[in-house]
Chains A and B, each alone.
Chain A
Amino acid sequence: MSEPAIKIEGLRFSYGRNEVLRGVDLVVPEGSIFGFLGPNGSGKTTTIKVLLGLLKPDAGVCEVGGLDSQKDMMAVRRSVGYMAEDQQMFGWMRVEQIVRWMGSFYPGWDEKFVQELLDFLKLPRKSRVKTLSKGQNSRLALLLALGHRPKIVILDDPTLGLDPIARKDFLRYVIGLLQSEGVTVFFSSHLLYEIEPVADYVAILKDGVIVKTDKTDQLRQSVKKILLRGAGDIELGGVGGVLDVARMGDNAAVTIEDYSETKRQAMEKKSGCAIVDELDLNLDEIFEAYIIGNRGQRVQV
């Protein structure tokens, strides 16, 4: 098995007394598109900043491309393409100036590739950065992150502030540029529909802890919404993996992870109700269940 592109073990970080990351463990396989999901304030940006050596963790180890992100932070930054959340650049520079300027910091800067990218991303060379639209700004930031042909690209909520069309446009460029090249993409977002069509793997971060990591397809298969028919209080006491319990018309809807025949039998036995349907969920609904799901084991129907 090849070395993981990114490996995080026991990562802890606090801003003063506010503990933002509380033991994050994560492995990002090489060549994958990895969706790093979490609501606002869950610690996504902080994790990424620690990965790049911009913040020093209280505890834990981060490796990017086999390099320790604290001990070899310059080597990590040279080898990784990074696009920050709502990236602000030097507005007074022209597009061609900022591209040339960035190139001077990376030994592997591929000028020919960058010139092709400028055309591909439809960026006006002579325009000042401050005059670009939000969509153009994001595309320029993407170009600057890719100019040195990194093997690992870290995109921190890259479509933040873009309208839906610009978002789709941006993602089309990301996929077009990176998917065929075998580049590892670590993509943080809080917009699930953005991640779902592109990510091979997803990790869900909640309150500084990873609550789920899986292949996107497996996650979709393993989390189900089960409809139970019954009346009065329905109790599920002791059934493992319940993420959300809610009333849905005349039924109780139970969202459960790692659904199996054993769990099916356990649910029927504990609740005393018949299972009337098993529904597949999209990533958005799965994410919602993990983040704001009612973990109580009781619902009144």
Chain B
Amino acid sequence: MIKALFWKEWCEQRWKLAYGCVLLMGFVAVGLRSRIVQDEVIVVFAAAGGSILMALLVGMGLVAAERSDGSLGMLLALPVSSWKIFAVKMAMGALVCVGPIAGCMLLSLVMAAGREMSATRIIVPCLGGVAFGIVMLVWMVAFSIRQPSEARAGLVGIAVFMVWVFIISLDEISGGGLLSGSSLAITPFGIFDCTLDRNYDILPDVIQVQLAIGTCLLVWAAHRFGKLGRVKE
């Protein structure tokens, strides 16, 4: 039963994985080969940009595509609890989201390890990017789960991201007073920020906070996923 759900999700999401891999790994390959900018810029940009792009791409299609196609009703009428369907969707979404970033990390290790950056300095921001991608995916899905189309889900996802960017920008403007110290941990950028700043002391706390927030968001989303909207008769 679960295998069948995974198979369906895989068939629906695999082109996004392929698209993400081609796009991001192509960018990394060209960037590292041409050496126009420092290797670190390429790796960090691929990890950060890739995680946002993939979270948006996956998040907007995970549930909203089924809603707009009208196939969600069929899925929810199966003799499987809605939270299992949602869990499978999220698991496959996370896999597709992190796949291209993991691919970039491997490619960077092959092409540039020991050149300007050590292997560890390549791996750490990429892992931060993976975590950031999953966190952003959770935020985007949680807020866009009831949207009737992929376009609207995408807009909601962008809005969620921009709200956090706005809050962090305000924090920067106010000289770090708004989100000072550990309060940065509550933002979706928390883990990625720690890996970039090599602030490993607070990383376990940040991960715990992110796990708690992510769990709350997922429970909220799963609860709303199983609810059907008003039907036209």
Identify the A interface with B (CB < 8 A): 15, 40-46, 49, 52, 54-55, 74-75, 77-78, 82, 84-93, 101, 104-106, 157
Given A92-B12, A106-B79, CB of A85 within 8 Å of CB of B4: no
- Do residues A84 and B8 form an inter-chain contact, with CB atoms below 8 A? no
List residues of chain A with CB within 8 A of the CB of B80: 74, 105
- Do residues B233 and A42 form an inter-chain contact, with CB atoms below 8 A? yes
Chain B window 222-233, contacts with chain A (Cβ cutoff 8 Å), 1 for yes, 0 for no:
000000101101
Q: Which residue of B lies closest to A129 (CB)?
A: B71
Interface hub of B74, B80, B228 (most chain A Cβ within 10 A):
B74
Given A88-B69, A88-B70, A104-B3, CB of A77 within 8 Å of CB of B78: yes
Instruction: Specify which of A49, A74, A85 is in contact with B81 (CB 8 Å cutoff).
Output: A74
Beyond A41-B233, A46-B233, A101-B4: 7 further Cβ-contacts under 8 Å? A45-B233, A52-B77, A88-B70, A88-B74, A93-B11, A101-B7, A104-B4
Judged by a CB distance under 8 angstroms, whether B76 is at the interface is yes
- Do residues B69 and A91 form an inter-chain contact, with CB atoms below 8 A? yes
Given A74-B81, A88-B70, CB of A49 within 8 Å of CB of B233: no
Nearest-neighbour CB distance to chain A for B4, whole angstroms, equals 4
**What are 9 A-B contacts with C-beta separation under 8 Å?**
A74-B80, A74-B81, A84-B74, A87-B74, A88-B73, A88-B74, A92-B12, A101-B4, A104-B3
- Do residues A88 and B71 form an inter-chain contact, with CB atoms below 8 A? yes
Judged by a CB distance under 8 angstroms, whether B110 is at the interface is no
Instruction: Specify which of A46, A78, A105 is in contact with B231 (CB 8 Å cutoff).
Output: A46
List residues of chain A with CB within 8 A of the CB of B233: 40-46, 85, 157
Judged by a CB distance under 8 angstroms, whether B1 is at the interface is yes
Main secondary structure of the interface of B (DSSP, over half): loop
Nearest-neighbour CB distance to chain A for B95, whole angstroms, equals 19
List residues of chain B with CB within 8 A of the CB of A75: 79
Identify the B interface with A (CB < 8 A): 1, 3-4, 7-8, 11-12, 69-71, 73-74, 76-81, 228, 230-231, 233
Instruction: Specify which of B3, B73, B79 is in contact with A78 (CB 8 Å cutoff).
Output: B79
Q: Which residue of B lies closest to A190 (CB)?
A: B233
Q: Which residue of B lies closest to A43 (CB)?
A: B233
- Do residues A104 and B231 form an inter-chain contact, with CB atoms below 8 A? no
- Do residues A55 and B228 form an inter-chain contact, with CB atoms below 8 A? yes
- Do residues A15 and B230 form an inter-chain contact, with CB atoms below 8 A? yes
Given A41-B233, A49-B231, A74-B81, CB of A104 within 8 Å of CB of B70: no
- Do residues A77 and B12 form an inter-chain contact, with CB atoms below 8 A? no
List residues of chain A with CB within 8 A of the CB of B81: 74
Complex Cα gap A157–B70 (Å): 16
Complex Cα gap A91–B70 (Å): 10
In the complex, the 5 A-B pairs of residues with the closest C-beta atoms, listed nearest first = A88-B70, A104-B4, A77-B79, A78-B79, A45-B233
Nearest-neighbour CB distance to chain B for A89, whole angstroms, equals 6
- Do residues A49 and B228 form an inter-chain contact, with CB atoms below 8 A? yes
List residues of chain A with CB within 8 A of the CB of B230: 15
Complex Cα gap A88–B3 (Å): 22
